[in-house]
Structure 1
Amino acid sequence: MTTAATMQAALSPQDAARQLALTRMKRLAAGLLVLMAVIFTVSFALQDRYPWLGYVRAAAEGGMVGAIADWFAVTALFRYPLGLRIPHTNIIATRKNEIGASLGEFVEANFLAESVVRGKLESVGISRRLGGWLSSSSNAERLTGELATAGRSVLELLNDDAIKNLIESVAREHLVRPEWGPSLGRVGERLVTSGQQHAGVDLLLERADAWLRAHPEAFGRAVSARLPSWLPGFVDKLVDDRAYREVIAFVEGVRAQPQHPVREAIDRYLVELTNDLQHDPVMILRVESLKEGLLNSPRLREFAGETWESVKASLLEALGDPQSAVCTGIRGTLVDVGTRLARDDALGARIDRWLVDSVTALVQNYGHEIAGVITETVERWDSAETSAKIELQVGRDLQFIRINGTIVGSLAGLTIYAVANAVAGLFA
């Protein structure tokens, strides 16, 4: 299949319309040339009988010359006229790479210049426009839907095994490699110093008191099980009741007295424990051994997998429901940000300044590469296809050159013939 046939098959609806308009203009220009040729033939044949036809012949002759010259000029841009390899024809195809390079340089110099980019961005007022757009609930909802769709697509494209490996490696890097003892000791020391352990002790005592009052039989059986079997049953009962009351009273006393010896003993133990966790090599080694036993088990891999699967399922469900807390939060955040940008001139000015500086720096550093995309793209195009593409875009307008050339040539031929006859009449 030829290049022209390939392009014809791949034309978009817009390009198909351009192709139809180009074909019509070519036929009109060619029709004018044929009309000039017919007029010239008739007037040339009859001018001896009707001298005034000499003016018509001159006009038609000039129109033909202008039409042919401009046909040649227009055709030479895109192909070889009549297939003849005349020098300096088929210009676009033969100089495609130079044209691409020149176009890239033109874009870089005139569109990617720092002054142009900075001036345009500063005149736009990006933050205010963006804020006004985002502050509309309908726009925020639409953008939320797009973000949710993009988020779901990203989640579905992610490799689950790779994410699980990442979670496991991060856990090992930040949980397994550092020593636990000193870190736990420092955290514990701050908690004990601020008295945070008291709330935990109160909770334990409260739960112990509640359990004892709710399960007196279980406590009694636990005490009886430790008494000699030869004691009579009523002795077991007395001991159970006595022990139960003593334990209840003891727990109540500890709960009621902030300075109870048990509480002070717990505080001293915690102080010693936090100190040992930070400075005692034996304690640090024991904690490390416990850590290794916990995290080197297969459960760590299972935990990473379960964590990712749970997070992924929750996010997919939330992003798929426009009324979920996640989507509602995104919408609300977008509207809030838009409102602030629209109303807070100081914030908008800072953001605009940051955007202008960032984009300008980007253009300064990568402007040549951005313009180079044009050059590289044109270089990759097929020469014949490039000519066909450009002709499709501008060829219709260029056909007016042929039409204008026909008209101007006719007027020029008529003027020259009339002036020549006038001058000849003066010297006759």
Structure 2
Amino acid sequence: MGDAGDPERVEWMDRTETVEAEEKVLGAARAMTVFSAADEERQRGVRRMKLTATGMLLFVAVVYVLAEWASHQGAGAWARYVAAAAEAGMVGALADWFAVTALFRHPLGLPIPHTAIIPTKKDQLGVTLGDFVGENFLSEDVVRQRLRAVGIGSRLGAWLAEPGNADRVTSELATALRGALTVLRDSDVQAVVGEAITRRADAQEVGPGLGKMLEGIVADGGHRRAVDLVVTRAHDWLVLHADSVMDAVQGGAPGWTPRFVDRKVGERVYKELLRFCAEIRDMPSHPARGALDRFLTDFASDLQSDTDTRARVERLKGEVLGRGEVQDLIASAWTAVRAMIVSAAEDERSELRLRVRAALLSLGTRMATEQKVQDKVDSWVEGAAVHVVTTYRKEITSLITDTVAGWDAEHTTRKIEAHIGRDLQFIRINGTVVGSLAGLLIYTVSRGLGA
């Protein structure tokens, strides 16, 4: 506990976690530059093309030497033409060799300016690539145009309208729901639910709401069924417990009254109670019903406007919510709800899954056939994508720049050269051929003009 409260230790732990996270990112970036078997095969292809390009350079060099020797030995004019073509081919080959080599390393190991571009400008290239992606691929106009051309609403609707796909989505949703409910701890959810219900009940006065509801029930006559039930049950109970009622009345009589008088009084009271309940039960317009209606109407009004009544209801609410039994009931409600949801999610024929499947099929049909629904879905998707792109564009492009920055310069150079080096060697070959042709053409034109 002492370490948790020490600011210096907390700061040190934060720095340690940050360094570890950075090392993981750099480690992952370095892992991306490790040569694979495919990279080794590409590298062998690059070496073969280098030998071919270098062989052509040596070939034109030998041709040049032989042509010069032949020219000095009195050979015909053709020797000068061949020498000029070979000389220009050497120049073209050397120039392109320098250009290609300068991309990956210093030619001949000499620190010539603006050479070894990839290893020395790796981070700058990463920033440039990130900016290029951000400006040309993550702009709002590009995202909207591409998504609008895809027509996600109609395609998704046609896909969802297939019963098999709807079943698959329903199953995946059920699995996700079960997983989420399994991960949640009952004690945590119960505490949250109990606190939320208690806090909401404490914050909101219930009296006016109860009064409004009771007023509506009385106005619609909804309480009459409850009155009918209570009166009927009371009448039935009196019929079954006649002796108990009469014994209770006789037991409360004075001791000096004769027993037969007590019995007569008990019988009279029982008969009156039985008659009263029967009349209330059988007479919708009984005065007692009217009195109950007036009482409930007045009570509903007091709940909404009488300060003392509202205060008493609030005190009663606090007492009820404070009881342990009520808190246990609130907490246990989550267990029952979770079990019900999990059971419904697992049962393929449950009402929950059937309703979800039907809703997906209906949604898919509407999305596939109704242009208005398609436009709405496309608008939602475009809006969400644009929000993500515009809000997190820097974070997305920084993934490129940070990844490139984390690469080792030497390994990055080798990996890039393995991927594009073979094509670059064709530049050397073409430079040799084009240089030779250009040299021959220039020499021919100059000889013709000189003649």
Q: Provide the rounded CA distance (Å) in 1 between the counterparts of 2:98 and 2:342.
A: 64
Give the number of equivalent residue pairs: 419
Q: Provide the rounded CA distance (Å) in 2 between the counterparts of 1:63 and 1:21.
A: 30
The alpha carbon displacement at 1:204 in A equals 1.4
The alpha carbon displacement at 1:227 in A equals 5.2
SS in 1 for 2:408: helix
User: 2:154 is matched with which residue: 128, 134, 139?
Assistant: 128
The alpha carbon displacement at 1:7 in A equals 7.7
Deviations 1:109-131, CA, capped at 9 Å, x for gaps: 33344433333333333221121
Match in the other structure for 2:424: 401
Match in the other structure for 1:33: 53
The answer to whether 1:181 aligns with 2:207 is yes
The answer to whether 1:289 aligns with 2:315 is yes
The alpha carbon displacement at 1:174 in A equals 1.9
Instruction: Using the TM superposition, name which of 389-398 and 54-63 deviates more.
Output: 54-63
SS in 2 for 1:85: coil
User: 1:336 is matched with which residue: 362, 368, 378?
Assistant: 362
Which residue type is aligned with residue 33 of structure 1? A
Q: Is the 8 A contact 2:157 2:368 kept in 1?
A: yes
SS in 2 for 1:196: coil
Q: Provide the rounded CA distance (Å) in 2 between the counterparts of 1:388 and 1:307.
A: 60
Q: Is the 8 A contact 1:134 1:334 kept in 2?
A: yes
Which residue type is aligned with residue 292 of structure 2? I
Q: Is the 8 A contact 1:44 1:53 kept in 2?
A: no
Match in the other structure for 2:237: 211
The alpha carbon displacement at 1:201 in A equals 0.7
SS in 2 for 1:172: helix
1:58-207 equivalent positions in 2, closer than 5 A: 66=92, 69-81=95-107, 83-158=109-184, 160-207=186-233
Q: Is the 8 A contact 1:79 1:93 kept in 2?
A: yes
The alpha carbon displacement at 1:230 in A equals 8.5
SS in 2 for 1:209: helix
Change (3 A) 1:57 1:400: farther
The alpha carbon displacement at 1:350 in A equals 3.6
Change (3 A) 1:201 1:301: closer
1:298-337 equivalent positions in 2, closer than 5 A: 298-337=324-363
TM-score, length-scaled by structure 1: 0.79
User: 2:39 is matched with which residue: 19, 26, 35?
Assistant: 19
User: 2:293 is matched with which residue: 241, 244, 267?
Assistant: 267
Q: Provide the rounded CA distance (Å) in 1 between the counterparts of 2:369 and 2:126.
A: 45
The alpha carbon displacement at 1:83 in A equals 5.0
Q: Is the 8 A contact 1:176 1:292 kept in 2?
A: yes
Q: Provide the rounded CA distance (Å) in 2 between the counterparts of 1:135 and 1:80.
A: 62
Q: Provide the rounded CA distance (Å) in 2 between the counterparts of 1:386 and 1:319.
A: 53
The answer to whether 1:416 aligns with 2:442 is no
Which residue type is aligned with residue 213 of structure 2? V
The alpha carbon displacement at 1:185 in A equals 1.9
Aligned-pair Cα RMSD in Å: 4.1
Q: Provide the rounded CA distance (Å) in 2 between the counterparts of 1:214 and 1:62.
A: 126
The alpha carbon displacement at 1:197 in A equals 1.5
Which residue type is aligned with residue 208 of structure 2? P
Q: Provide the rounded CA distance (Å) in 1 between the counterparts of 2:56 and 2:233.
A: 111
Which residue type is aligned with residue 397 of structure 2? I
Instruction: Using the TM superposition, name which of 286-295 and 95-104 deviates more.
Output: 95-104
Q: Is the 8 A contact 1:219 1:244 kept in 2?
A: yes
The alpha carbon displacement at 1:231 in A equals 8.1
Change (3 A) 1:336 1:64: farther
Q: Is the 8 A contact 2:321 2:327 kept in 1?
A: no
Q: Provide the rounded CA distance (Å) in 1 between the counterparts of 2:166 and 2:364.
A: 9
Which residue type is aligned with residue 412 of structure 1? G
Change (3 A) 1:369 1:353: closer
SS in 1 for 2:221: coil
Q: Provide the rounded CA distance (Å) in 2 between the counterparts of 1:147 and 1:422.
A: 78
The alpha carbon displacement at 1:67 in A equals 5.2
Q: Provide the rounded CA distance (Å) in 1 between the counterparts of 2:153 and 2:321.
A: 49
Which residue type is aligned with residue 206 of structure 1? T
Identity %: 34
Q: Provide the rounded CA distance (Å) in 1 between the counterparts of 2:258 and 2:111.
A: 128
Q: Provide the rounded CA distance (Å) in 1 between the counterparts of 2:426 and 2:394.
A: 36
Change (3 A) 1:57 1:27: farther
Match in the other structure for 1:373: 396
TM-score, length-scaled by structure 2: 0.75
The alpha carbon displacement at 1:19 in A equals 1.1
Gaps of 5+ in 1: none
Deviations 1:44-66, CA, capped at 9 Å, x for gaps: 77665897999888877766665
Q: Provide the rounded CA distance (Å) in 2 between the counterparts of 1:9 and 1:115.
A: 35
The alpha carbon displacement at 1:30 in A equals 1.8
Q: Is the 8 A contact 2:91 2:435 kept in 1?
A: no
Q: Is the 8 A contact 1:64 1:406 kept in 2?
A: no
Q: Provide the rounded CA distance (Å) in 2 between the counterparts of 1:125 and 1:383.
A: 38
1:34-49 equivalent positions in 2, closer than 5 A: 34-36=54-56, 39=59, 48=69
